[in-house]
């Protein structure tokens, strides 16, 4: 439930923060609360992923896309994630979550999330998402065109993202 409040606060405050471009980084700051922890008394692995979900909403809000996509009936859907855990986060520790769009292909938009504590990397996550309109996946190029960003050069996806995408396509 506490994460729901964090989600709502981030969604509201993103409208008042500086607008960012589609390839710019967004930074959020959080504190680990005791109810975020697992039996080992550190941030639960699933909570890392939930914080990254909130960060993607921050990206949409700061790009000023959220309202328009919802009005069109498009819904953001997470299509997969890979994550590497490096360090534990303990109760009451503050951390920074850096998020950005890595790039896109014909269907997916790829995101990078880096969780840091005092400049030390605690986790790195890569997610892929899509916007859905009913049963139709909205191509990223259509999303960019809606926001008159169609002239933005598509960044080359890192090799590990291409290998992950190819592995997922085999399934």
> E strands within 13-134?
26-31, 75-85, 94-104, 109-117, 120-133
CATH topology of domain 2-170: Thiol Ester Dehydrase; Chain A (3.10.129)
**Given a cut of 60, is residue 118 above it in pLDDT?**
yes
Segment 60-87 shows an average pLDDT of 93
Structure confidence at residue 150 (pLDDT): 65
SS3 97: strand
Q: Between 143 and 122, whose confidence is greater?
A: 122
**Given a cut of 60, is residue 46 above it in pLDDT?**
yes
C-alpha pair distances (Å), 10 with each of 26, 28, 39, 57, 167: 12, 9, 27, 8, 33
6 vs 84: CA distance, rounded Å:
23
pTM above 0.85, yes or no: yes
Segment 34-53 shows an average pLDDT of 95
Number of DSSP helices (H) and strands (E) in the chain, helices first: 5, 6
27 vs 110: CA distance, rounded Å:
17
Structure confidence at residue 106 (pLDDT): 93
Structure tokens at 90: 């303990």
Q: What are the sequence ranges of the domains in the chain?
A: 2-170
Segment 7-31 shows an average pLDDT of 92
Structure confidence at residue 2 (pLDDT): 66
Q: Are 42 and 89 in contact (CB under 8 A)?
A: yes
Instruction: Give the relative orientation of helices 2-14 and 45-62 as an angle to the nearest 10 degrees.
Output: 20
SS3 9: helix
- Per the listing, tokens 């002239």 go with 151
């Amino acid at each position: 439930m506490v994460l729901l409040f964090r989600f709502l606060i981030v969604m509201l405050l993103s409208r008042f923060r500086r607008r960012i471009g589609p390839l710019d980084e967004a930074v959020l700051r959080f504190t680990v609360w005791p109810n975020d922890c697992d039996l080992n008394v550190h941030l639960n692995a699933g909570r890392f992923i939930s914080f990254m979900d909130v960060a993607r909403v921050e990206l949409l809000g700061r790009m000023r896309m959220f309202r328009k996509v919802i009005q069109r009936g498009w819904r953001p859907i997470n299509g997969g994630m890979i994550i590497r855990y490096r360090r534990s986060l303990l109760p009451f520790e503050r951390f920074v979550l850096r998020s950005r769009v890595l790039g896109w292909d014909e269907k997916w938009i790829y995101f990078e999330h880096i969780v840091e504590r005092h400049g030390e990397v605690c986790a790195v996550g890569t997610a892929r998402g899509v916007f859905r309109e009913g049963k139709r996946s909205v191509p990223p190029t259509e999303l960019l065109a809606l926001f008159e960003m169609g002239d933005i050069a598509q960044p080359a996806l890192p090799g590990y993202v291409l290998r992950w995408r190819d592995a997922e396509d085999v399934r």
